[in-house]
Structure 1
Amino acid sequence: MATYSLGATGVSGGISLAHVILTIFAANLVIGAFMLLTADIGTEHGLSFAVYLRAPFGIYGTHLPAVSRGVVAAIWFGIQTYLGALALNGIGEYFLGFSNWFLWYAAFAALQVANTAMGIKSVERLAALAAPAIIAISVWMYFTLDGIAQTKGLNIWNADLPGSMSLAVLFVANMGFWSTMAIDIPNLTRFLETEPSRRFARRNRNVFAAQLVALPLTQALIAGIGGVSMIATGNWNPIEVIQGDATGLSLLVLLLLVVLAQWSTNNSANLIPSALTFVNLAPRVINYRIGVALAGIVGTLSFPWLILNNLFVFLGYYGAFLSSIGGIMVADYYILRKRCLNVPALYDPEGQFRYAGGFNPAGLAAWVIAGGIAAWFVDYAVLIGCPLGLVLYLCFSRAAGLARYPQAEIIERFPDRFLATSVGKSWVHYGNGRFGREPA
């Protein structure tokens, strides 16, 4: 739903519909390619985002960037739930004569939390049902909105609304939109079926179609329809458009499709990542189900309906700090460790990832500096944060970090024992702090 807002904002900023669609397609192609890189952490080692961050940030330092991502995910849960609640409220108004969006919000939030708490299989089943809903909404909206535009004598492809937004700002905002999933995609890819192989493409073949085809195409399509909605009606919100144009059963079906679309996105993109960061924060106190409930509470207390009114500001500032985490992850995983990882040490409070009292100064300094500079130049935050985080982390690590805190997988002359899927193995925890690798 928020993707409609991105497209509409571009159009209302004076960018043509065609340029909005092409810009958002290109932005998602770039962010999708970046997701391929971070996805390998899940497909190779089976690690969640928060656990992996112990490598560049330390066993306690991981909580700072991980929880920041978790809070952003929880806020997005609140935003998506609010939009879904508006759809439910539309159904209530039409069929029951009852209007109270906050009650619908509370009920919808509770339903999503309960579904997500049931585990990844429950989420997968819902996604299989809801994914076609997103396409169905988009197809219906395009033809309906194009018809409205034609009755007003408007050509959606030639419309020129006044505004001064640049393509670069729209490009960066859309990259910020998905920077959350770009860094914590291992939370999902660790569940994928993988083929043991040293070849990156073969090992991650199930990721390629999702990130380089499905994501750019659907994001560009949906954002484009948001632009069409703005041109035809002056309103980006498809819920309100649906309520104004549909009646009876068609209204019920379309609003239910909106609810399904919000629900499926929220589970995988927001509730699961947020819950896992909270679990990692205090695993002896917070289990997965409690983490999911906490994500729902945090998302609601953020007053997401107010944040939605300042979406581009929100995208810019969180994109600055999350994109710098992405740069640090790529530098650590690919350049320093060359995909090798001492996984057992990630769970050893006295092991190599303890660094200085559990905090890696190189990772934390790179994150704060890169994120701060990117936030200062917020219109171009993602373009600055990611490469700057990568460069600063490498410089700080090589200047002092690696000499002071030796890393076994970097020192090892024959590091295959620190690989998993590439060599046909899977990491296994036997209990009592003992790890091993077994055939995948």
Structure 2
Amino acid sequence: MTSPKFRKLARRLECPVDEDGGYTNDRWTNRDLIPIPPDRRTYKIWSFCIYWFVSGACISAYSTGSSLLAYGLTAQQSMACVVIGAIITGLLSVISGFPGEIHHIGFTVVSRMSWGMKGSYFPVCLRVFTSVWWFGIQSYWGGQAVNLMLGAMSPSWKHQPNKFSASSNITHQDFTGVVLWYLAYIPLVLVPPEKLQRPFVASSAAFGATLIGLLAWAVPHAGGGGPLFKTVNTASSTPYSMMLGITSILGSWGSGTIGQSDWVRYSERRYYPLASQMFAAPMMITLCALVGVVVTSASSSILGEIIWSPISLLSAIQDYYDSSSGVRAAVFFAGLGCTCAQLSINVLLNSVSTGMDMAGLWPKYLNIRRGAYLLAAIGIASNPWQILASAATFLSVISGLGVFIAPMTGIMLADYIVLRRCRAKIEDLYNGSPSSIYWYKNGFHWRAIVAFVMGSWPFCPGFIMILIDPTSTSAWVKLFNISFLVGLSIGFVVYLVICTISPIPHVKEGLNYLDDERFCKNVTGEPTPSQDDEFKHEHDRDVKDVEISAVIREV
């Protein structure tokens, strides 16, 4: 392992370093982890609006109403839950994005403040684990969208008998769609995050056209909004069901809010993300969910069945019209919009963020691009069609892991916003030694660990009960169902209480802004150009003092 050939190969596999970048790849640092320098801050206000269109207008957001109506709420009450949940999501996004907006660092590095240099591996690994499975599932849905396009081009392809065995839980058509979807996904990973605005614009336009097309078809043909808007309230407790609906909205975008810094760090100027997060986020989430409810309700009057998935709905529309040429063309372009939506949402919420998390685990050899490819390989190897078909319990486990995101969010906000007042000592975030103020005890911050346990354990009994019996309605299960709001609050308050009893050392050190000249080109503590100038001035002043002293002695 120490032979010259192995060392040479290892050097070749190291992540590339920018010329004159002022940093070296080590255990804590690489190009994707350092504060984003000014020349890579390319996101403007419209960029973040597009971000939230991609995140808020997607297939999962379209289907939000299915879960809300299942709680026994009326369509009107469900939409009220969406609006309230979307507004809170926007507010959380603003606050969670402060580290990226102020110091231009992502969640992977921010977590080192509150968890310690080594302790930060835990929240990072948790995000990686959940993202692997969700990436595979989202990719499978993307493959179904591609298969929808193939079926629109060739009805014979759509109605071919499945050539795979029934035990595979996937048809040869869907498998072909997944392969083609991956071929479209791979080039997107090659695009640096700071240059993804234009692909996101194209994706937003395509999926937006799909939503408008479905709405324009369903409502006129049904003669209105359909039967779902005439349902009565069947919830045993309307306040609790409303709280449950709001929490489900927050849970859906929980990982997106805690990781806002991953994207906000590319902001060209301060406050650019504010408009999109406070206005575009609630508007996009609400509009997409509303379109989903209206289209599903109206289409049920036409097709005779309630279909929440837009992909399944488009397939049913093609069959309803006997694959006429005009309908096939409409289904093809609508399927293209769904495909683009799945490509963008996977890049947005999984590839870039998880790639950076993986880079934080092994910065010397992993960056965002390599991490994204590794995520894609593991995601497809997870056989997501098997998970969706036969592992309902495991899928519940993956969904339930969201209860751990809530206290993590509360701890991060309490630490960075309240205690540190948005201050950070940037160079110490890349210093893996006891001299770093974020080293704490052996690299771990015990206060964050205690607050996390206190913020997550109340939901574990309900989590286990749901896995054993999905129909359970005990008090523990009800608490688990509203875990995001409660868990975030517990994590936030408990962390502050612990830090009040046992104050964090050096909590007021650092700057509440990023000194670009000092930090953006060097985060390893070596002299930067500005520091060299200071040394030069001090040297010149010393030389002048010596010369003056010599003249005085001669006189």
| Both proteins in one fold, TM over 0.5 | yes
1:261 equivalenced with 2:341 (yes/no): yes
1:53 is paired with a residue of what secondary structure? helix
Aligned to 1:197: none
Deviation at 1:16, TM superposition (A): 1.8
Deviation at 1:180, TM superposition (A): 0.4
Aligned equivalent of 1:276, options 332, 356, 361: 356
Q: Give the unaligned 5+ runs of structure 2.
A: 1-58, 158-171, 319-326, 463-478, 531-555
Deviation at 1:64, TM superposition (A): 0.6
1:180 equivalenced with 2:255 (yes/no): yes
CA change 1:249–1:389 in 2 (3 A) is: same
Aligned to 2:306: 234
Deviation at 1:12, TM superposition (A): 3.8
Q: Give the Cα–Cα distance (whole angstroms) in 1 for the partners of residues 529 and 255 of structure 2.
A: 30
2:229 is paired with a residue of what secondary structure? coil
Q: TM-score, normalised by structure 2?
A: 0.70
Aligned equivalent of 1:361, options 446, 453, 468: 446
Alignment of 1:292-371 (within 5 A): 292-305=372-385, 306=387, 313=396, 317-350=400-433, 351-371=436-456
Q: Give the unaligned 5+ runs of structure 1.
A: 195-202
Deviation at 1:178, TM superposition (A): 0.5
Aligned equivalent of 1:127, options 200, 203, 215: 200
Q: TM-score, normalised by structure 1?
A: 0.87
Aligned to 1:79: 137
1:9 equivalenced with 2:67 (yes/no): yes
Aligned to 2:288: 222
Q: Give the Cα–Cα distance (whole angstroms) in 2 for the partners of residues 436 and 368 of structure 1.
A: 41
Q: Which shows bigger deviation, 129-138 or 355-364? A: 129-138
- Equivalent residue letter for 2:230: N
More helix by share: 1
Q: Which shows bigger deviation, 221-230 or 364-373? A: 221-230
Alignment of 1:358-437 (within 5 A): 358-375=443-460, 376=462, 377-400=479-502, 402=504, 406-407=505-506, 409-410=507-508, 412=509, 418-421=511-514, 427-430=519-522, 432-434=524-526
- Work out whether residues 72 and 233 of structure 2, in 8 Å CA contact, stay in contact via their aligned partners in 1: yes
- Equivalent residue letter for 2:355: A
Q: Give the Cα–Cα distance (whole angstroms) in 2 for the partners of residues 94 and 258 of structure 1.
A: 14
Q: Give the Cα–Cα distance (whole angstroms) in 2 for the partners of residues 212 and 314 of structure 1.
A: 31
Q: Give the Cα–Cα distance (whole angstroms) in 2 for the partners of residues 281 and 268 of structure 1.
A: 20
CA change 1:371–1:434 in 2 (3 A) is: farther
- Work out whether residues 8 and 228 of structure 1, in 8 Å CA contact, stay in contact via their aligned partners in 2: no
CA change 1:236–1:339 in 2 (3 A) is: same
Q: Give the Cα–Cα distance (whole angstroms) in 2 for the partners of residues 349 and 48 of structure 1.
A: 18
CA change 1:117–1:385 in 2 (3 A) is: farther
- Equivalent residue letter for 1:253: F
- Work out whether residues 96 and 413 of structure 2, in 8 Å CA contact, stay in contact via their aligned partners in 1: yes
2:502 is paired with a residue of what secondary structure? helix
- Work out whether residues 189 and 347 of structure 2, in 8 Å CA contact, stay in contact via their aligned partners in 1: yes
Deviations 1:22-63 (A, max 9, x none): 211110100110110111100100111011100100111111
Aligned to 2:174: 101
CA change 1:258–1:287 in 2 (3 A) is: same
Deviations 1:77-132 (A, max 9, x none): 22322222111112223324445212322331343243123311442221011112
- Work out whether residues 226 and 294 of structure 2, in 8 Å CA contact, stay in contact via their aligned partners in 1: no
Aligned equivalent of 2:79, options 21, 45, 52: 21
Q: Give the Cα–Cα distance (whole angstroms) in 2 for the partners of residues 435 and 103 of structure 1.
A: 54
Q: Give the Cα–Cα distance (whole angstroms) in 2 for the partners of residues 64 and 113 of structure 1.
A: 28
Aligned to 2:148: 90
Deviation at 1:374, TM superposition (A): 3.8
Q: Give the Cα–Cα distance (whole angstroms) in 1 for the partners of residues 361 and 180 of structure 2.
A: 28
Deviations 1:268-293 (A, max 9, x none): 22210111101101111222222011
- Work out whether residues 96 and 257 of structure 2, in 8 Å CA contact, stay in contact via their aligned partners in 1: yes
Q: Give the Cα–Cα distance (whole angstroms) in 2 for the partners of residues 300 and 342 of structure 1.
A: 40
- Work out whether residues 146 and 336 of structure 2, in 8 Å CA contact, stay in contact via their aligned partners in 1: yes
Please provide the CA RMSD for this pair. 2.7
Give % identity.
22
Deviation at 1:242, TM superposition (A): 1.4
- Work out whether residues 90 and 278 of structure 2, in 8 Å CA contact, stay in contact via their aligned partners in 1: yes
Q: Give the Cα–Cα distance (whole angstroms) in 1 for the partners of residues 76 and 209 of structure 2.
A: 22
Aligned to 1:142: 215
- Equivalent residue letter for 1:419: N
Q: Which shows bigger deviation, 356-365 or 54-63? A: 356-365
CA change 1:429–1:271 in 2 (3 A) is: same
- Work out whether residues 131 and 350 of structure 2, in 8 Å CA contact, stay in contact via their aligned partners in 1: yes
- Equivalent residue letter for 1:367: F
Q: Give the Cα–Cα distance (whole angstroms) in 2 for the partners of residues 161 and 103 of structure 1.
A: 43
- Work out whether residues 74 and 299 of structure 1, in 8 Å CA contact, stay in contact via their aligned partners in 2: yes
- Work out whether residues 7 and 20 of structure 1, in 8 Å CA contact, stay in contact via their aligned partners in 2: yes
- Work out whether residues 136 and 376 of structure 2, in 8 Å CA contact, stay in contact via their aligned partners in 1: yes
Q: Which shows bigger deviation, 313-322 or 389-398? A: 313-322
How many residue pairs are counted as aligned between the two chains? 418
Deviation at 1:313, TM superposition (A): 4.3
- Work out whether residues 374 and 380 of structure 1, in 8 Å CA contact, stay in contact via their aligned partners in 2: no
1:157 equivalenced with 2:215 (yes/no): no
1:418 is paired with a residue of what secondary structure? coil
CA change 1:437–1:110 in 2 (3 A) is: farther
Deviation at 1:437, TM superposition (A): 9.9
- Work out whether residues 173 and 315 of structure 1, in 8 Å CA contact, stay in contact via their aligned partners in 2: no
2:438 is paired with a residue of what secondary structure? helix
Deviation at 1:420, TM superposition (A): 2.0
- Equivalent residue letter for 1:182: T
- Work out whether residues 427 and 523 of structure 2, in 8 Å CA contact, stay in contact via their aligned partners in 1: no
- Work out whether residues 410 and 488 of structure 2, in 8 Å CA contact, stay in contact via their aligned partners in 1: yes
Aligned to 1:199: none
- Equivalent residue letter for 2:274: F
